[in-house]
Amino acid sequence: KQEVTQIPAALSVPEGENLVLNCSFTDSAIYNLQWFRQDPGKGLTSLLLIQSSQREQTSGRLNASLDKSSGRSTLYIAASQPGDSATYLCAVKWGGSQGNLIFGKGTKLSVKP
């Protein structure tokens, strides 16, 4: 069964700290992997998309890595800010470009000023 797991479920850090969010998936034959941000009561904002042939993607203070062989992805956030507080979701697409996304339950991040 294809599953996505995110650990930890919640994380609280002081402002300015660098942090890593973890995502693991059960089947290494992925099509792509995507990281999203969800604010309370809001929709999803796509942060980074990594194709199966890629190892990492970067956008500003965010860096996502992908290791298919070990079934893992990490989202690295540098110099965290209170505005980074949100739930971060990892989603994997299997079964080709038309496949649906399978989501983890997310990591709820709180950055304290």
Partner 1 sequence: NAGVMQNPRHLVRRRGQEARLRCSPMKGHSHVYWYRQLPEEGLKFMVYLQKENIIDESGMPKERFSAEFPKEGPSILRIQQVVRGDSAAYFCASSPGTSGSGKNIQYFGAGTRLSVL
Residues that bind partner 1 in the complex, under the rule CB under 8 A: 4, 31-32, 34, 36, 41-46, 49, 51, 89, 91, 93, 96-98, 100-106
Residue 65 or 106: the one with the smaller Cβ distance to partner 1 is 106
* Shortest Å distance, C-beta 34 to partner 1: 7
CB atoms under 10 Å from CB of 98, counted, come to: 7
Neighbouring C-alpha atoms within 13 Å toward the C-beta of 43 = 2
Q: β-strands 86-94, 107-112: how paired?
A: antiparallel
* Shortest Å distance, C-beta 103 to partner 1: 4
